Chain A
């Protein structure tokens, strides 16, 4: 296991590229992505793991980046909203008007993109469970549900 005792370089694999960041052992992945790599598509909204706005994919699975240290991401594939291009989820969010201010949207897109990849046949119960962690204050959630169903081809 990679050990980190002091500030130092970390090699991260982000959106298919190898990137080196100089981080503290206590820097969260969220902090490293935004402040060191300028990947500001991933947003910060609570830093307590209660809103899922900062969700990124680790080896294809959604993870709250405020609850993961940058050092823990070493050796894993990190994918952020900037690495998700042309996903059917994005098309569906556009078609269904499933966002307003756009602040929580990257978290939804990333989560739903993983759902699409890992559970292409997801039933309602699975969809609801997967998305129950993401908070949105602008929409009625109904349009987000419609968008996810559309992306799943339903």
Chain B
């Protein structure tokens, strides 16, 4: 009755193809109040005056909240952000006020009537602008901000955090380098574009209990922050998250929830709904980091990598939020999956007057991977070496150490070389990287290897509570959110496998309720299967123990003589002697009425093991339980006449450890590959000279459309991670990480020019080729 590895359809599939599944915004009630954000129209300006009189005159407007009404600053590591701008706005689209009304229309009309007077300030429009001596200070009081977790802001600067990685001896590394190559890179900020815009409802009961419904990846963090900022006991706060309509890291940030709470408070605790328009989703709520990078690599003539000196400048936008955490994560994995003994990396989270940023699929890894993998192709060219061969000979392996000096094993690393070998076959690399057709069009391929570890907090935890229904079916209670990644189904698969029962008899619910479900850190970092999976397996073992001990009394034998499978507990040596679990799960009742055992309730929990913070001077530390490694390739058809191109093929081979559910794993990785190509091919926020975002709508911010995608191939190899459930490594976002680099390498080869920026529009290729700025 094996369930793991068999390809089980999503539990919620039927609800999704019939429109029956409910997202937060699908709750309709006549009593609901509606809030609307008023957002700033300058990237950097002093707030001189906010006039609300005209807004108050709109019939139906019940409350107007401004920055004066909230006295706290918020942030994930560094508390630098007012929930509503108070003295000045620091990015275009920053929330300034909130209008609460008895209808969506009145809230909108009210918001349009709020008048804001500004005194414009010079805008910091890039990370290089931000680091220039004499640059305008975005945060005048940077030194006074409260640090919630390790973060190192530099006073009198625009630097929110600086992370250093020092490995080996750079003098030795450069001395041993016969060939060096260096390059700089520029990647713009971009947006998650989840199809469901962020949406929240908040209400406060007469006794002070708070209920928040949110489209979020982090219900337990919402609970913590509502408690921290509004001084409410966590036990009096319930956060409920139903299915989420795509998130990609964006909904791990806590933003609208704080505002919705204030809106509810302003109307006497009535339930208030706050939903982003698409424009607010793109500019007002946090998006994806930008990255400027400088990479210098040294190698022997034979191609052995000797030294890497790297500077990553993260455009975190106006507030640090998760941008600072991503800076650490980027630094920890800074070289990509290569053995380099001498590494120096400085990663800075830089403030600009751009929209602030948060986690995004790949957690910054796609950005730095673009820089590293492009530099490797440039190095290969200089070495007159095959780019695949260069990667293969330097691929990191068990016995090596990570940039932060974690010892690598087969279990915590997997097999990078094997991924590269298989990708080489699948993309038909040996045909030649560049092939010119008779029509003059150029077919070219590009490669990228990739790796990522979790970068979770050292005490990230999860839990599971398993209960039975009278029909012997199982309910899984976990705090992990269903965001489209199929985790709930994967947990059901693992429980079915461990309890040897039909996966159809394992029930999951889409909703997470912080009051009812055990805490799960956040649904991020592709860690749900790992963390919640460990908890579920422990809970299954707890159930097995209870079933065996109860059945041993009923069957008058030792528990060691028994096994559980197919809904029965039976004698291992004589399966005909059994008791049906429906007779056990709510306590066993003898014929005379005597009862024993009571309800069978499975309990499991997991906490990260052996993780440490990074040393502030050297970066030394253990930042995740294991890596997922992989290799990817892209093939394009490039027209040298007009610089247009078609993406023909994209291939990913990832070391999954163990594929729990091939159906979902294939689909999720392919989807992330598509997102990575969309990102690299066309996406990026466009700013005016004064920092105003000029493409804040889906009309102007283009993502990949149907029929533009290449032919995708996804394969997995399986090197088990011993401490992971059934050996399964984190899996999902990794599909995105190598795509921009592979596309950049393919197009650079096709166009015979070094393309070191994104997005790779035909105009980009043309302007680089023509040497235009």
Contact = CB atoms under 8 A, between A and B. Distances in A.
Interface of A: 24, 34-35, 38, 40-48, 50-51, 53, 80-82, 84-85, 90, 93-94, 97, 99-106, 109, 128, 131-145
Given A102-B484, A109-B17, A139-B670, A46 B698 contact: yes
A47 B663 contact: no
A142 B26 contact: no
A94 B17 contact: yes
Contact of A40 (B15, B26, B248): B26
A104 B671 CA distance: 14
Given A85-B18, A101-B483, A137 B278 contact: no
A79 B709 CA distance: 30
A40 B19 CA distance: 7
A57 B699 CA distance: 23
| Most B Cβ at <10 Å: residue of A43, A97, A106, A132 | A97
Interface in B6-45: 9-10, 12-23, 25-26, 28
A138 B246 contact: yes
Contact of B707 (A53, A90, A94, A132): A132
A135 B195 contact: yes
Contacts of B195: 43, 45, 51, 53, 101, 103-104, 135-138
13 contacts: A34-B26, A35-B104, A41-B19, A43-B25, A50-B699, A101-B196, A131-B707, A134-B706, A135-B195, A135-B698, A141-B706, A142-B670, A145-B707
Contacts of B18: 41, 81-82, 84-85, 90
A137 B26 contact: no
Given A102-B15, A102-B484, A48 B244 contact: no
Contact of B706 (A38, A44, A46, A131): A131
Contact of B697 (A50, A97, A101): A50
Contact of B667 (A43, A132, A139): A139
Nearest to A53: B195
Contacts of B243: 101-102
A133 to B, nearest CB: 8
B405 interface: no
A94 B13 contact: yes
| Interface bracket on B | 35 or more
Interface of B: 9-10, 12-23, 25-26, 28, 104-105, 192-197, 243-248, 277-278, 483-486, 663-664, 666-668, 670-671, 673-675, 697-699, 703-709, 711-712
A21 to B, nearest CB: 13
| Most B Cβ at <10 Å: residue of A47, A133, A134 | A47
| Most B Cβ at <10 Å: residue of A34, A84, A102, A145 | A102
A140 B419 CA distance: 21
Contact of B28 (A40, A128, A131, A133): A40
Nearest to A97: B667
Contacts of A105: 16-17, 19
Contacts of B698: 46, 48, 50-51, 135
Contacts of A132: 705-707
B194 A137 contact: yes
Contacts of B664: 97
A99 B486 CA distance: 11
B703 A143 contact: no
Given A34-B28, A45-B197, A131-B706, A103 B278 contact: no
Contacts of A42: 19
A128 B246 contact: no
Given A41-B18, A94-B17, A140-B671, A103 B23 contact: yes
B194 A44 contact: no
B362 to A, nearest CB: 14
Contacts of A45: 195-197, 278
Contacts of B196: 43, 45, 101, 103
Contact of B663 (A35, A48, A97, A139): A97
